Chain A
Amino acid sequence: MAQNSEPNSSGASIKSVSSAASGKAVLDGLTPDPVQLAGQEHFDAVLAKDSRVEPKDWMPDAYRRSLVRQISQHAHSEIIGMQPEANWITRAPSLKRKSILMAKVQDEAGHGLYLYSAAETLGTTRDEMMDALVAGKARYSSIFNYPTVTWADMGAIGWMVDGAAICNQVPLCRASYGPYGRAMVRVCKEESFHQRQGFEILLELANGTAEQRAMAQDAVNRWYAPSLMMFGPPDDDSPNSKQSMAWNIKRFSNDELRSRFVGMLVEQVKVLGLTLPDDQVRFNEESKTWEHGPLDWDEFKEVLAGRGPCNAQRLERRRTAHEEGAWVREAAVAYHQKQQDKQKAAA
């Protein structure tokens, strides 16, 4: 766990570093801001110790911006990601499945809330992030722009999409920014439940009727490549990765995580008795990594750029919910204000 888990304790430590480092600023002859210099020194020391940066700590603007971008994109992905699954809540084929699916989609709203809160500690507001999302100015995980056309998609999303998310997010529990890392701990616990329920759906279908089995295989076929692409572009085409790793936000490269994920799928698909739609999957004994067939990165970029099958629909649904809910949010604020006025008048 983080050594500086309390904002106050790390806030106090800035002061001591600040006074200790003040002489160094003069030596440079550039008269940099001593607070900034001390802050940078403290920040570097925290990263060197693999400890946590906390909200009140000084941090480089680029680090802050990068985190806001990453955490808000992550939050948006949770919120937009509710839609493809909510699509099947009212049609879930058994009450037990309906109950599990509802709980899962509800968890995702909760994840969105923790993550927006984590991003808010960096000085942005949820309203700003939500406005950027509904204005189409923010990104979210491109995979949620694919449609969920059969019930088996609930299984494939849980098993593969949430499985990929877990591979990505478990290392993020150790991210250098405290609120993000801690949010990830809780998110990962719930994601592992999500993955198991997805696997269970596919297992039931794979052991069901011929039609159910075909439905399961079809879903695995459709979600395989998009789930592999969730890890982001190959390492040699991933501009932000290097800096993110230097800041101890990201711990493993896109390709490392993708390879690990493929290895997991290879074993688990055997239990399902289904196949992966990729005849080039193999374990490379030399590099000790799993390799897979080529992925269509042009398609990935198209979807990311807003030209996927459901981009417009997903954004429109979020925008509608947001706009149709405006009068409710305004009412809550107005009521709160009136109550406060009453209390003041009574006091």
Chain B
Amino acid sequence: MTPHATNLGDSSASATRITPGNALRPEDIVEATRLGTVKPSEDVAEYALRLGDDALILAQRLGHWISRGPELEEDVALGNIALDQLGHARSFLSYAGAAWGKTEDDLAYFRREPEFRCAHLFEQPNGDFAVTIARAFIVANYQFLLYRELSKSTDSMLAAIAAKAVKEVDYHLDHSTQWVLRLAGGTDESRRRMVAGLNLMWPFVGELFQDDSLTARLGAAGVVPSSLKDEFDRSTGTVLAEADLDVSALHMSTGGGRAGRHSEHLGFVLAEMQVLAREFPGASW
């Protein structure tokens, strides 16, 4: 089915509907899965959980920048990217939850740290603006390739979510690319900070492209992470070369996020994100 073509649910009646037009919304996914027209397999749900957690934790990180950006334009830009990521997270989590009878909020607020499936890159603290840009640059390059391929998934819902997301990530890619060039080619200080940001973030690239038994089982429903690595190296390499930045000597960390082994940072992110929801379990907001 094409979720775009359906007119499901009454969420359009909400006074605070925030997605204009007939774009795919998390509410549409909930409605489609409720009606039983789509239901993810266990493997697809596990996979959606990974992608949803990546986007959710990044949105949580970026949300902190709003009102703290170096320019008002960046408050708006980083806020927009955070919103896009949160939208993708809600879609992936809503879809994943359908396999287990859980809502997006059950998954976001009531899972424990080892149950999260995000990669370490997404958990990393914002640092200064250059650190945030270094992370954003890696994420945008990765997600752009990932979603572009996933939009061809044999799972129609994953394909639909990815098709919407890739258009938005295209802007994130442009935003982070422009800033990598500006910071690397701006002043001595900005260059020093951009190099430091890449030194901090680049080690987490490796985990994004690790295959495992789940991605092998998914076949054409998912995207084999390692299949994206060459193009990732080319697309980031072009920009880094223009910026005269070299990441070739940086080591790769081992990762473990997909199996629930996280960095030192995720616990703090979850503590803050989940505190209110857990104070009132079962409450509606």
Contact = CB atoms under 8 A, between A and B. Distances in A.
B5 interface: no
A325 interface: yes
Contacts of B80: 106
Interface stretch (B114-122, B179-187, B204-212, B220-228): B179-187
A331 B186 contact: yes
27 contacts: A82-B67, A89-B63, A90-B60, A92-B276, A93-B280, A94-B109, A95-B26, A95-B56, A95-B108, A96-B90, A96-B285, A99-B86, A102-B66, A103-B79, A106-B66, A106-B75, A106-B79, A109-B75, A151-B285, A204-B284, A327-B189, A327-B193, A328-B190, A329-B71, A330-B189, A331-B190, A335-B181
Interface residues on A, range: 35 or more
B63 A103 contact: no
Interface in B78-134: 79-80, 82-83, 86-87, 89-90, 93, 104-105, 108-109, 128-129
Interface residues on B, range: 35 or more
Interface of A: 79, 82-83, 86, 89-100, 102-103, 105-106, 109-110, 112-113, 116, 151, 193, 196-197, 199-201, 204-205, 208-209, 211-212, 317, 320-321, 324-335, 338
The interface residues of chain B, by DSSP majority, are classed as: helix
A99 B15 contact: no
A325 B86 CA distance: 25
A91 B273 contact: yes
Interface in B12-27: 14-16, 18, 26
Contacts of B76: 106, 109-110, 113
Interface of B: 14-16, 18, 26, 56, 59-60, 63-64, 66-76, 79-80, 82-83, 86-87, 89-90, 93, 104-105, 108-109, 128-129, 181-183, 185-187, 189-190, 193, 272-273, 275-277, 280, 283-285
Nearest to B70: A325
Nearest to A321: B68
Contact of A211 (B72, B275, B280): B280
The interface residues of chain A, by DSSP majority, are classed as: helix
Contacts of B87: 99
Given A102-B79, A109-B67, 4 more contacts: A86-B68, A93-B283, A212-B283, A317-B67
Nearest to B107: A95
